[in-house]
Structure 1
C-alpha cells in the first residue's frame, strides 16, 4: 500500500523561517487532522465534533487538550510510571491560550460537543511549540465542515534588543523585555497575554499590531488549505436551539423597564441578583403550573438577554454602572498587613466585594518547585498558587482539585510579580492567594495582596505592583462604546471585554485580554490602556497607605539566608564522606545547607532562623575552603613549639612554620611562645617543598640602619646572589652544593627552608643557628605537616 499524498501549505516568516501545514496523511478518521511543522518542532492537531447536541445543553461543550510527548525531545518521563501522566501547569496554560481564542469563534447557537487535541510529537529547541498550538488547532477545524467563524492563529511577539520578532527561540526569549502571545482572526484581535519589563501603553499597542500582521498571513494559508481540501464551504447544518418568538416578545415587553430600574439602583451583588430574580418570578406568576413548565425554559433564556441589554444601555446612555459608579471609578479599597502571625508575610486586600488573603513563605533552594517537561527542566524559586473556593461566590459545589482557571489566574499574578523580585534574592518564595470573596478581578486582587505580603515579609522588591481589570460595552449600530475600570463579575459576564493589566508606576509588567466581539479597533484598545493606567495608579496609592516600602529585614521567625560561592573543587570536602561533614554542621548549628554547581563555582545557600548560627556555619565552611593569600595577615594560633620555630595554624587544618629567624628583627635564641598562644603573622608564600612560610617580624617596625661596614653590608644585602651561588664551590663547609632551599649539605638532613631570612636579618648576625651532631629539626615537626 502506498502512503497517501499529503496536502501541504507553506508560510514564510519575515526572517526567512518556514512553517508548513500538512493534512491527509495522519489521523484520517478524525473530522480534521493537520501536522504543523517549524524547524524540527511538529504538532499533530485533531478535531472531532458530534453531529447533535446533548439534550438540555445550552452552551458550547468545547474541550481543548494539549499534551507534550516526551519522546518528542528524546526524553523518558521522570515519574514513577515512566509515562505521560496528568497535564503539567505549562500544558494547561497552553490549552487555555488556545481555548480562549477558539471559543468565541463558534456560533452562539452551536452546542454540539467539540474536542480539539494537540500533541507535541517532535521538539526542536529553536522553535517553541506553544506559539504553533493555536495555528494547528485552527487549521484542523478549518478543513472540516464544523461551523466556525475562523480561521484564527496565534503568534509570540517579543522585543529583543529593541527589535520586535515573531516566534523566537526559548534562548532568545530570555533576553526579551516584552513577551506576549497574540491570538486573532484576519479582522480582529481576540486574545493577548504576556509579560513585560515596565513598558508603555504605546509600546504594547505597537507589539499587538506587529503580531496581527503576521497572523493575517497565517490565516490566509489556512484558507488556501481548506479550499484545496474542499471544506471551505458549506458548513454542516445544525439546529441546537428552539425558540418561541411569542414568549420572547412578551418577556422583553413586560420585563425590560423593570430590569432597567433594578440595574440603575445601586446595590450589592446578592441583593441585585435577588431583585432580578423577583422580576422573572413576577413574570412567570401569570402562568398556570402546567404553562410554566413550557414557558420557563424560554423565559430564562430571553430574560438573560434582557438583563444584558438593560445593563449595556444604562452604561452607554447614562454612564451609570450596576453598583452606581461612573465608568472610571474604582471600588472602595481597604488592606491590612501582618494579619497572619505564623506566616513570613501576609496581607488582606479588599476591593469592593472582592477579597484576597495572601501569604508569603520563604524557603531555601531545597524548597524550589521542580519544573520538568520536554522543553524545560529547572528549579523555580518564585511561584504563586491561586485558590478559588466555592464559598467565595456563595456557592456549594464539589471540590475536584485545582481547576484550569486557578492555574491560569495564578500564572498571570505570578508573571506580574516576578518582574519585581530582585535578581540577588537568595530565597525560594511561595505566595498563596486564597480568594475569600469574588465579584470581579480576583486575580488582580491577588497581585495587589501579593505585593503587600512581599513587603510585609521583608522581601526587597524593586517596586510595588498593582493590577486592574478593564471592561467594555459597545453598540455596533450607533458606534458608541464605554470603557469600564475595575469591572464587576456581571460586567465581565455581560460585557464585551475582560482586559487585565498589571504594572508599576513606571510601566506595564503583565496583561491578559479576552475580546468577546469581532472588529475591536485599536482606538478602543488605546483608550482602555490609558484608562487602566489611571486606575492602576489610584489602586497603588491606596496600597501604599498600608505599607510604602519593604521591611528592612525578614521577621524574627522567618529564615535568614546567606549565600557563599566557592571553587567547585571544595564541594566534596564540605559534604564529606557520605555527607558526614555537611550533616554534622546542619545538626550543630540548626541550619539548612544547600549546594549546587554552577559551572566552576559551588553555590552554597545557608538558611536558619538564628543569624548567629548562620554566621557560625559560614565560619565552619570558610575553614574548610580556606586558601591563604600571599601577603595577607592572619591571626594564628601556635600548635607546636620547636627549637627552630613554631608551627602556627592560620585556619583549621592549615598550618605553617614561623621560623625563629622570622619572629623578630633582633636575634632570637629561644621561641617565645607556648602552645595555644595567638600570634599575628604574614603569609610569605610557599617554599620549594610547597611548605608555608610565615613571618611576624615583617609586621614590626624595622630598626634603624647602622653606620659603617656592617651597615653597608646590610644595605647591600638585596643585591647579593643566593647563598648557593656566592662561591664557585658553594658550601662553606665543603663537599656540598649550596642550594636555594637553604640546606647546607649535599644529601643532608633535608632541613626546612629558611628562604626570606637573609633579607630581613639585622647586620652582623649569623644567618643560621649551628646544628649539633645528629640534630634534625624536621624530624620533630608535627605529624602530617
Structure 2
C-alpha cells in the first residue's frame, strides 16, 4: 500500500509536467471564445419546498438499514407522494425541476447520514463488509467452478482448460500476440432485475473483465501448460460485481487444479466528502457508487496489490484520503481473502477426472516432420487411436519441437508419450536389449525394442544362432521376446545390426571360420596379374 501511494505520487508529478506544457500551448495560441448558453433553470423556492418534503423522510428510510428492494420501493413512494402534491399543470410546467430537486434532496440525506452518524444505507458502519458465502465445485461438469456471494452481489465463475491452440489471439495496432490466460465478464440484465434484450458485449463488461483479468494474471505461473479461460456470470448485482468476479475467479482457478501462486481477493472502496469532513466506505453498494465521490477498486494477495482502478467525481483527492483508503482497503481485502481460503486453502493437486490433462514433451527439430507424417497422417492417426489432442509448436529459441498432449484418458496420453519416447530412443553400441518379434522374413526376423514400441530393426538369420539356420521359424516365432546385442551401424550393409547369437555361449568344439585374406590368394593354380608376361612377348607366343 505504501509503495502504491508513492507510485501514484510519482505519476502525479509527471502529469504536472504534461499539464504545464498544455497551459503553455494554450497561452501561446490564445484562448478561443467560449460560447454563451442559457443556464439551466433554477427555482430556489421550489427546491426548498421539495427538500422540506423529501429530506427527513429519506433520512429515516436510509437509516432503517433495509434491503435494496425495500429501500428502492420506499424511495419511490416518497417520490410519488411529492409529485402528487403538485397539480397537473405544475407537473407539466415544472416536471424536470421537480425530479431534479427530489433526486438532489435524497442524495444529500443519504450522504449526511454517513457523514454525521457513520451509518450506511444497509445499516453497516463505514468499515464493515457485507456477509460472505462462497462454494467451489459448484458446477461439477466444468473443469473448475465457484460461486461467490457478498451481500446482494453474486458471481458464478467457471474455468476451461485448453491447449495453446485455444489461446486468445490479440491483433491490435499496438500489440500482436496471444494470451494463454484470459477472462470474460458477463453482466446480464436480470442481475439488476431488468428485462431487456442482450445487444452484445458492452464497454462496461469489457472494462470490468479487463480489470479482473489484470488482477489474476500475475498469479498464474509462467510454466502453466494450459490455456486458461475464466468466465464470470454476474447473477445478482448491488455493487462491486467486478471484485466479486476476482474472488470467484480465484477459487475457480484453484478448484481447476491450476497451481496459482497466491490467492487474490478484491474490494471496492467509496468516498463521501463535504469540505473537511469525509468518510471512506468499504465494500460499497450500487447506490453508494452512484451517490458517492469515488469508486476505488483494489485487488491483491496477502503480500501486496495486483491491480487497482479509481474513478473520481470530485475535482481532487488529498493524499491523506488516498492513504487512508488504501489502508482500509487492505483490511477489507484480507478479511475477504480469509473467507476464500476457508473455502479452498490451496489449489487442487491435480485437474479433475473429466478435465483434460496436459503433458508437454520436447523432440529434436529433425524429428518434427516424422512425428507429423506426410500431410499430417501420422499425428492424425495417433490422435484418433489415443483419443487425445496433440499440438506441436517450435521453440523460437532452441528450435526444438514442443509437443502438447491433451486428453482425459491417461491410457491414451501414455500411448502418445510411448510413441515419442520410441522416436527419441537411441540404443547404445555394445548394450543388450529386450526385443519382440513382430514380423517373419525368409532372411531374418523384424523385431522391435520392448522399451520403445515402433522402433524396429532386422535380426538377420545369420545372427540367430551359432549353428546354421535354414528356416527362421526353427529358432524364433512371431511374438517371441528375446535379448539381442546392439552393434551399431554395420559397415557392409550401412544398417543397424543386432545379434542374438552374440550373447549365447558357443557350442562345444566350435571353431571360428578363418577370415578370408583378399590380398593373399594362397597357392592357387591361377596366375595373378603379376605373373603375366609383357604384352609383346605374349604377342610373339
| TM-score scaled by length of structure 1 | 0.60
8 Å CA contact 1:247, 1:295 repeated in 2: no
Which of 499, 519, 534 is the matching residue for 1:735? Answer: 519
Aligned to 2:78: 279
Matched, 1:223 2:23: yes
Matched, 1:578 2:375: yes
Runs of at least 5 residues in structure 2 that lack an aligned partner in the other structure: 470-474, 506-514, 522-541
CA drift of 1:639 comes to 5.8
Aligned to 1:779: none
Describe the shift of the 1:215–1:281 C-alpha distance in structure 2 as closer, same or farther (beyond 3 A).
Answer: same
Aligned to 1:513: 310
Matched, 1:397 2:200: no
Which of 271, 279, 282 is the matching residue for 1:482? Answer: 279
Instruction: Give the distance between the partners of 1:640 and 1:610, measured in 2 at CA.
Output: 30
RMSD between superposed Cα atoms in Å: 3.0
Post-superposition CA distance 1:667-718 (Å, at most 9, x none): 9557875554333456564455754355789999x9xxxxxxxxxxxxxxxx
Aligned to 2:171: 372
8 Å CA contact 2:462, 2:468 repeated in 1: no
Aligned to 2:512: none
CA drift of 1:385 comes to 0.8
Matched, 1:649 2:448: yes
8 Å CA contact 2:435, 2:483 repeated in 1: yes
8 Å CA contact 2:184, 2:231 repeated in 1: yes
CA drift of 1:335 comes to 1.1
Q: Secondary structure at the residue paired with 1:533? A: helix
Describe the shift of the 1:630–1:267 C-alpha distance in structure 2 as closer, same or farther (beyond 3 A).
Answer: farther
Instruction: Give the distance between the partners of 2:18 and 2:428, measured in 1 at CA.
Output: 63
Aligned to 1:618: 417
8 Å CA contact 1:343, 1:360 repeated in 2: yes
Aligned to 2:534: none
Q: Secondary structure at the residue paired with 1:545? A: helix
8 Å CA contact 2:466, 2:501 repeated in 1: no
Instruction: Give the distance between the partners of 1:207 and 1:315, measured in 2 at CA.
Output: 30
Q: Residues 699-778 of structure 1: matches in 2 within 5 Å?
A: 733=517, 735=519
Aligned to 2:389: 592
Post-superposition CA distance 1:589-644 (Å, at most 9, x none): 11111111222111111112211111112222333454445677643234689999
Instruction: Give the distance between the partners of 1:301 and 1:631, measured in 2 at CA.
Output: 95
Instruction: Give the distance between the partners of 2:327 and 2:381, measured in 1 at CA.
Output: 59
Instruction: Give the distance between the partners of 1:417 and 1:334, measured in 2 at CA.
Output: 21
Instruction: Give the distance between the partners of 1:616 and 1:291, measured in 2 at CA.
Output: 83
Aligned to 1:242: 41
Describe the shift of the 1:514–1:696 C-alpha distance in structure 2 as closer, same or farther (beyond 3 A).
Answer: farther
Aligned to 2:133: 334
Q: Higher helix fraction: Structure 1 or Structure 2?
A: 2
Which of 285, 292, 297 is the matching residue for 1:495? Answer: 292
Describe the shift of the 1:659–1:492 C-alpha distance in structure 2 as closer, same or farther (beyond 3 A).
Answer: same
Instruction: Give the distance between the partners of 1:604 and 1:448, measured in 2 at CA.
Output: 33
Instruction: Give the distance between the partners of 2:112 and 2:158, measured in 1 at CA.
Output: 41
Aligned to 2:13: 213
Q: Secondary structure at the residue paired with 1:550? A: coil
Q: Secondary structure at the residue paired with 2:343? A: coil
Q: Secondary structure at the residue paired with 1:555? A: coil
Describe the shift of the 1:432–1:734 C-alpha distance in structure 2 as closer, same or farther (beyond 3 A).
Answer: closer
CA drift of 1:652 comes to 5.1
Aligned to 1:472: 271
Aligned to 1:459: 258
Q: Secondary structure at the residue paired with 2:334? A: helix
CA drift of 1:468 comes to 0.6
Instruction: Give the distance between the partners of 2:370 and 2:114, measured in 1 at CA.
Output: 71
Aligned to 2:331: 534
Q: Secondary structure at the residue paired with 2:482? A: strand
Q: Secondary structure at the residue paired with 1:549? A: coil
CA drift of 1:403 comes to 0.2
Aligned to 2:527: none
- Higher relative contact order by CA 8 Å / sep ≥ 6: 1 or 2? 2
CA drift of 1:574 comes to 1.7
Matched, 1:439 2:238: yes
Instruction: Give the distance between the partners of 2:503 and 2:50, measured in 1 at CA.
Output: 101
Q: Residues 404-443 of structure 1: matches in 2 within 5 Å?
A: 404-443=203-242
Give the paired residue count.
503
8 Å CA contact 1:345, 1:457 repeated in 2: yes
CA drift of 1:514 comes to 1.2
CA drift of 1:404 comes to 0.4
Matched, 1:692 2:509: no
Describe the shift of the 1:285–1:645 C-alpha distance in structure 2 as closer, same or farther (beyond 3 A).
Answer: closer
Instruction: Give the distance between the partners of 1:337 and 1:326, measured in 2 at CA.
Output: 30
Describe the shift of the 1:682–1:429 C-alpha distance in structure 2 as closer, same or farther (beyond 3 A).
Answer: farther
CA drift of 1:387 comes to 0.8
Q: Secondary structure at the residue paired with 1:453? A: helix
Instruction: Give the distance between the partners of 2:175 and 2:432, measured in 1 at CA.
Output: 48
